[in-house]
Amino acid sequence: MVVSLKDVAERAGVSAKTVSNVVNGYRHVTPATRRRVQQAIDELGYRPNLTARHLRAGRTGIIALALPELNNPYFAELAEEVIDYAAGLGCTVLLDPTHGRRDQEVLFVRGVRAGLIDGLILSPIELENEDLAERGSEAPLVLLGEREYDAPYDHIAIDNVAAARTATRHLLELGRRRIAFLGARHGRTRQPAHLRLRGWREELAAAGAAAGDDLVATTDGYTRADGARAMARLLDSGAAPDAVFCYNDLVAIGAMRTLGERGLRVPEDVAVVGFDDIEDGRYCAAALTTIAPHKRAIARAAVDALLARLDPARTPPPDSSRRIRPGFALVPRESTLGRP
């Protein structure tokens, strides 16, 4: 027998409207009533008709998540968190790659999925302010990541400057003084890595340590191969670093490969710190020290921000935007501390 909302209301001793409020996650329900309704739902095995609910609200129940790379472990892990959390709220996530290309990012912000999705969560790499200013889509948009924009959209990102300073400080406290940065981009002032590069410079300057351009290695991208090539160029330049702070874990893994090929030991000769805390880094020959963004908090903040824009009762003024800063943590491992 199909259990109806009315059946749940009768079992819980409340109105059908109250059951609806609980099912839809509205906050104006007392904890005691919410528990009673949830108990009735569990006992009866009630399953809401999500399609009907979304249609009544004029929505599809689908949100898009557009990421630069789906084969990058960080984005794969983040996507899993977004999908799991959104599913618990009755939403389906449509996953799309942008390949970090501006033309693809522009397509998404201008509504390439219009009519299919309720809103978009986007992690941009090449998108510019003017692209957002010319946006025609009315679907809510939430931005992720290090790029900063002067635009009225919620932006979810950790404090990248503080995180970079934390990583650099860790190396300084271990006695390292020639600390290189791997992952700056060629000819870019507003590059994806600029905040982490800034944090690296600030912490070294505060400690009176060298922070010259000879210790900055540029990359074309942020893959293992990019890290390996950048590390090779840095060593060939004669910069002689005793530590490297890498834009992400993939760059760090590539850098460690080159160090090994050159006969340099990690961390005895060169200590290495990455960023992202991907699973691969925990299983390197020297487990990778890294900055761990709170991926679950990032995912939940992004979904919550998007759904808040879709709920008229909670929608902020149209010209308002929020900068939400989930936390991060330094995870020290063998690539800086050595083996026990």
Distance (Å, whole) CA 94 – CA 282: 30
Question: Are 306 and 228 contained in the same domain?
Answer: no
Which of 276, 296, 293, 310 is CA-nearest to residue 120? 310
Q: Which two tokens stand for residue 209?
A: 């340590």
DSSP structure string for 213-225: GGGEEEESSSSHH
Distance (Å, whole) CA 336 – CA 339: 9
Question: Are 226 and 273 contained in the same domain?
Answer: yes
Name, in order, each residue with C-beta under 8 angstroms of 77's C-beta and a sequence gap of 6 or more.
278, 279, 295
Question: Are 322 and 254 contained in the same domain?
Answer: no
Residue 76 located in a structural domain? yes
Helix (H) or strand (E) holding 273: strand 271-275
Residue 45 located in a structural domain? no
Distance of CA 58 to the CA centre of its chain: 29
Question: Are 17 and 64 contained in the same domain?
Answer: no
Distance (Å, whole) CA 133 – CA 107: 14
Order of strands across the sheet with 216-219?
A: 216-219, 179-185, 243-246, 271-275, 289-293, 328-331
- What's the confidence (pLDDT) of residue 298? 96
Which of 71, 17, 12 is CA-nearest to residue 44? 12
pTM of this prediction? 0.81
Question: Are 164 and 283 contained in the same domain?
Answer: yes
**Cis, bond preceding 192 (omega within 30 deg of 0):** no
- What's the confidence (pLDDT) of residue 56? 47
Residue 126 located in a structural domain? yes
Question: SS3 for 55?
Answer: helix
Instruction: Determine contact, residues 244/270, Cβ cutoff 8 Å.
Output: yes
Residue 187 located in a structural domain? yes
Residue 272 located in a structural domain? yes
Q: What is the CATH number of the domain that holds 210?
A: 3.40.50.2300
DSSP E strand stretches across 114-159? 119-122, 141-144, 154-156
Question: Are 191 and 271 contained in the same domain?
Answer: yes
Question: Are 182 and 230 contained in the same domain?
Answer: yes
Residue 48 located in a structural domain? no
- What's the confidence (pLDDT) of residue 8? 82
Could you tell me the CA-to-CA distances from 67 to 94, 134, 171, 313 in Å, in that order?
Answer: 11, 21, 31, 29
Q: Which two tokens stand for residue 92?
A: 């389906």
Could you tell me the CA-to-CA distances from 334 to 168, 174, 228, 262, 286 in Å, in that order?
Answer: 16, 13, 19, 19, 5
Residue 84 located in a structural domain? yes
Number of separate domains in the chain: 3
**51 CB neighbour count, 10 Å cutoff:** 11
Distance (Å, whole) CA 275 – CA 292: 7
Question: Are 270 and 309 contained in the same domain?
Answer: no
Residue 154 DSSP class: E
Which residues of the chain carry a pLDDT beneath 50?
51-52, 54-56
Encode pLDDT of 18-38 as tens digits: 887 777 666 678 888 888 888
Q: 23 is in which domain, residue-wise?
A: 1-37
Question: Are 22 and 68 contained in the same domain?
Answer: no
Instruction: Determine contact, residues 54/61, Cβ cutoff 8 Å.
Output: yes
Q: Is 220 exposed, middle or buried, given 0-12, 13-18 or 19+ CB atoms closer than 10 A?
A: exposed
- What's the confidence (pLDDT) of residue 139? 83
Q: Which two tokens stand for residue 276?
A: 């992202």
Helix (H) or strand (E) holding 164: helix 160-173
Helix (H) or strand (E) holding 7: helix 5-12
Question: Are 209 and 115 contained in the same domain?
Answer: no
Question: SS3 for 87?
Answer: helix
Question: Are 282 and 252 contained in the same domain?
Answer: yes
Q: Which two tokens stand for residue 101?
A: 């290309």
